[in-house]
């Protein structure tokens, strides 16, 4: 195993990091560092002899967390921030149709289960809508709004 990054390399986090029960002062599941955050590698180690773990200090959060290699990219790599995160409550801004049939109506509530970026910088979300039990739709980010923003009367 050869590490991709060395001490003092700048990196960007591409997945949210939540407490797994090992971060002092946090509760399990608490968000520690949001994806898109920039940090500096401070140490390189391993876990179970088959995973490289980087201790990364994230500037804005003033927090040091352990990250797996697949959770990081080079600071100079392309990055497109997303409006939504995993588990965020959203509502549809438009009717969503499949084969002409409206499955989701404006205002229908759902939850983001995955954020998907393509190579051209477009962002979409896999969303589980309450009105469509058991199915997940891939929805362009532009057709979604935060459930809390809609409830407060805010529109993008």
pLDDT digits (tens, 9 = 90+) for 11-67: 999 888 888 888 888 899 888 998 899 999 999 987 777 789 999 999 998 999 999
Structural domain spans, the chain: 10-74, 89-151
Contact between 88 and 111 under an 8 Å Cβ cutoff? The reply is yes
The dotted CATH code for 89-151 is 2.30.30
The answer to whether 10-74 and 89-151 have equal CATH topology is yes
Enter the pTM of the model. Answer: 0.64
Q: Can you name the CATH fold of 10-74?
A: SH3 type barrels. (2.30.30)
- Give CB contacts under 8 A, 24+ apart, made by 15-22: 15/71, 16/85, 16/86, 17/65, 17/67, 17/71
User: Residue 118 — very low, low, confident or very high, per pLDDT cuts 50/70/90?
Assistant: confident
């Amino acid at each position: 195993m050869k590490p991709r990054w060395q001490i003092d390399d700048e990196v960007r986090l591409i997945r949210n990091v939540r407490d797994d029960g090992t971060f002092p002062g946090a509760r399990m599941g608490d968000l520690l560092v949001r994806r898109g955050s920039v940090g500096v590698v401070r140490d390189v180690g391993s876990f179970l002899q088959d995973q490289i773990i980087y201790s990364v200090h994230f500037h804005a959060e003033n927090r040091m967390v352990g990250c797996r290699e697949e959770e990081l990219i080079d600071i100079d790599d392309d990055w497109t921030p997303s409006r939504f995160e995993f588990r965020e409550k959203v509502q549809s801004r438009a009717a969503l149709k499949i084969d002409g049939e409206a499955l989701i109506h404006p205002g229908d509530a759902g939850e983001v289960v995955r954020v998907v970026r393509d190579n051209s910088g477009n962002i979409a979300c896999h969303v589980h809508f309450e009105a469509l039990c058991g199915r997940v739709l891939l929805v362009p980010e532009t057709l979604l709004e935060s459930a809390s923003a809609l409830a407060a009367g805010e529109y993008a």
